[in-house]
């Protein structure tokens, strides 16, 4: 009982002998994580679906907005979503990381894609603004990057 040895002199010969396609042998493409930008193997063809294991475990930050603010973010004219620097928002934002932000127009059904935007978490800055929504005086706010 002997062992039969077959030498293949090229990858093409080996693939032909075993019926393998070139695509089966290639490693997945290396792409940036949609949330944090780290290098990872591609999981799906849509960029938003490529989330690294670390970011996949992070929570999601949700914002339900009025139509005018949602439409401005969708159009790319609104860069930041502002939240009052209050104990409520400090507790939710200080020292936290999120995998992504989900912005909704009101409170849509889960399958309503037209009223839902997903953006990567890009952090926030603290600033002072004057806006009719917050009253007549300038207030301290969290400026959360959404575009």
Domain co-membership, 34 together with 72: no
Domain co-membership, 63 together with 52: no
Measured between alpha carbons, how far is 82 from 127 in angstroms, rounded to an integer? 9
pLDDT, tens digit (0-9, with 9 covering 90-100), for 36-86: 777 777 777 766 667 677 777 778 899 999 999 999 999 999 999 999 999
Number of domains present in the structure of the chain: 2
> Any residues with CB less than 8 A from the CB of 29 and at least 6 apart, and which?
41, 42
| HEC string for 5-69 | CCCCCCHHHHHHHHCCCHHHHCCCCEEECCCCCCEEECCCCCHHHCCCHHHHCCCEEEEEECHHH
Please report, for the domain that includes residue 76, its CATH number: 2.30.130
Q: Evaluate whether 104 touches 116 at the Cβ level (below 8 Å).
A: yes
In a domain, 87, yes or no: yes
2 has a pLDDT exceeding 60: no
Domain co-membership, 45 together with 81: no
Q: What is the pTM of this model?
A: 0.63
Provide the domain limits for residue 30. Answer: 26-57
Domain co-membership, 30 together with 74: no
In a domain, 36, yes or no: yes
If residue 73 lies in a helix (H) or strand (E), which one and from where to where? Answer: helix 67-75
Domain co-membership, 40 together with 88: no
The residue with greater pLDDT, 50 or 97, is: 97
Measured between alpha carbons, how far is 53 from 49 in angstroms, rounded to an integer? 12
Domain co-membership, 134 together with 66: yes
In a domain, 6, yes or no: no
Domain co-membership, 71 together with 49: no
Token pair for 65: 């907005």
Dihedral sign, CA of 144, 117, 102, 52? negative
In a domain, 21, yes or no: no
């Amino acid at each position: 009982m002997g062992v039969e040895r077959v030498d293949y002199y090229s990858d093409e010969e080996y693939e032909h002998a075993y019926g393998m396609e070139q695509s089966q042998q290639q490693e997945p493409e290396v792409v940036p994580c949609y949330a944090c930008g780290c290098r990872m193997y591609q999981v799906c063809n849509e960029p938003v679906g490529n989330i690294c294991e670390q970011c996949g475990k992070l929570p999601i930050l949700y914002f339900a907005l009025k139509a005018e603010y949602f439409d401005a973010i969708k159009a790319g004219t609104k860069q930041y979503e502002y939240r009052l620097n209050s104990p409520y928002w400090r507790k939710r934002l200080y020292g936290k990381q999120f995998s992504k932000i989900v912005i909704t127009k009101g409170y849509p059904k889960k399958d309503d894609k037209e009223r839902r935007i997903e953006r990567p978490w890009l952090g926030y800055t603290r600033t002072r603004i004057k806006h009719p929504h917050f009253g007549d005086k300038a207030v301290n706010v969290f400026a959360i990057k959404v575009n």
